[in-house]
């Protein structure tokens, strides 16, 4: 695999996927995959915080994202490999070693479906060229596969759906975090654009008087913007909403002690926090949109995207009915156990064997 995503992402779902693939391939010879070292400076903390992975992949800490990318763009891939698995879509990655088969993973079609959400790197990427040059395409959900074919049209290239996984450290046994309230509803991740975080504020405001000891906790995404602070004031939620940034190691504790986890995103390629919340025993409420019903399955409760009223009703039903909440916890635990990272690695290794057959 190339180092693109590890030069771009300190944290994130894509780099989590390739970190877990690397861990599985390096520690379990049963997959039949010999992973070549990256031999590059990176910014990704999942790799850098693991001495074993750092050593075996021969990575080192880059000064910042830009120096990592500069190294990547200035070094031509000369190693011989049977398969090159591209981790992202930067132009340099198209110049792969001669004779290698190419596997490309498509995570979502958000930049194509929602052009106004594009970030700076999205304007540098050549996703379509990667897809066209691939010998095999992996999509992380059926919803992503459907979007890919809808946007790009029918492709002659084989496509496999390989879901993401969840680490065993995400468990109900995780310790409570003193930085979080005693009783809280949880939101995790970035809050802007299609993530739809403001919808949860509106739904929570409708229930705030009924649950005076309950707070709303936003984890990650940086401090509240002035627009968000104005909305919190307008909804009379001052003192009822907190925002904290947590380390990756602390996240199981945030999920495990939440009264409910809410993910109101209007568009997801997969939605890894859903599995993490369920694996920690948090009753999970999801927008009925794109991949989320596929990932949450029968274990989650659902509400229509952009419908704060329906979200408030589903949240109220969960908070007010301890039997329902306990059932959702148990269902989530059982459902999430179907998604170990070892399964993701096994199915990815099968794709490699297919492309070489």
Comma-separated ranges of CATH 3.40.50.2000 domains in the chain? 184-336
Residue 300 in tokens: 């989650």
- CB-CB contact of 286 with 318 (8 Å): no
- The model's pLDDT over 202-252, given as tens digits with 9 standing for 90+, comes to 999 999 999 999 999 999 999 999 999 999 999 999 999 999 999 999 999
Q: What is the pLDDT of residues 5-14, one digit of tens each?
A: 999 999 999 9
Tens-place pLDDT, residues 80-99: 899 999 999 999 888 866 78
pTM of the model: 0.94
CATH architecture of the domain covering 184-336: 3-Layer(aba) Sandwich (3.40)
- CA–CA distance, 14 with 301 (Å, rounded to integer): 26
Please check whether residue 127 is in contact with residue 105, taking contact to mean a CB–CB distance below 8 angstroms: no
CATH 3.40.50 assigned to domain 4-165+340-356? The reply is: yes
Rounded CA-CA distance 138/40 in Å is 25
Can you tell me whether residue 320 is helix, strand or coil? Answer: helix
Please tell me the predicted confidence (pLDDT) of residue 117.
Answer: 82
Are 194 and 265 a contacting pair, CB within 8 Å? Answer: yes
């Amino acid at each position: 695999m190339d180092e693109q995503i590890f030069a771009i992402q300190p944290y994130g779902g894509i780099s989590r996927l390739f970190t877990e693939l690397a861990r599985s391939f390096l520690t379990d010879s049963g997959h039949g995959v010999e992973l070549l070292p990256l031999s590059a400076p990176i910014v990704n903390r999942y790799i850098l915080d693991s001495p074993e992975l750092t050593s075996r992949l021969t990575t080192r800490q880059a000064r910042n994202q830009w120096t990592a990318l500069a190294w990547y763009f200035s070094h031509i891939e000369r190693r011989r490999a049977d398969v090159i698995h591209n981790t992202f879509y930067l132009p340099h990655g198209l110049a792969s070693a001669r004779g290698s088969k190419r596997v490309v993973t498509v995570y979502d079609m958000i930049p194509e479906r929602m052009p106004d959400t594009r970030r700076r790197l999205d304007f540098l990427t050549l996703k379509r060229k990667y897809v066209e040059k691939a010998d095999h395409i992996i999509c992380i959900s059926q919803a992503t596969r459907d979007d890919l074919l809808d946007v790009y049209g029918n492709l002659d290239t084989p496509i496999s759906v390989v879901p993401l996984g969840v680490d065993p450290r995400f468990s109900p046994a995780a310790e409570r975090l003193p930085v979080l309230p005693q009783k809280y509803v949880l939101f995790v991740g970035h809050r802007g654009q299609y993530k739809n975080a403001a919808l949860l504020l509106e739904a929570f405001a409708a229930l705030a008087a009924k649950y005076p000891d309950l707070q709303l906790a936003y984890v990650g995404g940086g401090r509240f913007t002035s627009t968000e602070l104005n909305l919190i004031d307008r909804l009379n939620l001052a003192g009822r909403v907190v925002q904290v940034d947590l380390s990756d190691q602390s996240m199981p504790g945030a999920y495990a002690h939440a009264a409910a986890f809410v993910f109101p995103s209007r568009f997801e390629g997969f939605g890894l926090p859903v599995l993490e919340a369920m694996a920690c025993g948090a009753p999970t409420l999801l927008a009925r949109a794109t991949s989320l019903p596929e990932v949450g399955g029968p274990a989650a409760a659902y509400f229509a995207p952009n419908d704060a009223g329906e979200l408030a009703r589903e949240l109220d039903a969960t908070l007010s009915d301890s039997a329902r909440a306990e059932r959702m916890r148990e269902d989530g635990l059982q459902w999430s156990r179907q998604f170990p990272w070892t399964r993701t690695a096994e199915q990815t290794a099968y794709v490699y064997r297919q492309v070489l057959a």
